Amino acid sequence: MLLPTPFPTPFTPGLSLAGGLLLGVSSGLLWLGIGRIAGISGIVGGVIQRVERGWRLAFIAGMVLAGILARLFGLAPAIHLDRSDPLLIGAGLLVGVGTALGGGCTSGHGICGLSRLSPRSIAATATFMALAVMVVFLTRSIGGL
């Protein structure tokens, strides 16, 4: 009997490295170019609040376009979500509340904050990771919410 793999997606170190490099380069260019941190919650929040919308909309468009191009060239994995829409919407809302309470999101703290050795970002990222591990453990042991 084969045991299920703990990783539902294939191991792709080359693509993962390329993705990490793109994240690092894009966030570095944003910081060096206009002095802004590439935190997605802050970028989207600024669009909603109508603050400096030009660069924010361009950044979001670039993320969407990169996903579309990756899919067209067969570089993006197939996505299958086996959770209900209400659960996914609720999870998204909780993430939004968490980013507001935490003063940023995983991309702002985890990529940009850690690279600047920000103590606040180190604490936030440690919290994100610890809670993510706990949630995965609980949802898998309860039977998959």
For 83-140, the pLDDT digits (tens) are: 889 998 998 888 888 888 878 888 889 899 998 999 999 999 999 899 889 988 888 8
Give pLDDT, residue 67: 87
DSSP letters, the chain, are: -PPPPS-SS---HHHHHHHHHHHHHHHHHHHHHHS----HHHHHHHHHTTSSHHHHHHHHHHHHHHHHHHHHTT-SPP----S-HHHHHHHHHHHHHHHHHHTS-HIIIIIIIHHTT-HHHHHHHHHHHHHHHHHHHHHHHHT--
Flag whether 34 is in a domain.
yes
pLDDT at 37 over 80: yes
Of all residues in the chain, the percent with pLDDT exceeding 70 is 92
Residue at 67 is within a domain:
yes
* Domain count of the fold of the chain: 1
Residue 1 covered by a domain: no
At 3 the pLDDT is: 44
Domain range spanning residue 47? 13-142
Q: Would you say residue 8 lies in a domain?
A: no
Residue 43 forms part of a structural domain: yes
pTM comes to 0.75
Domain for residue 66, yes or no? yes
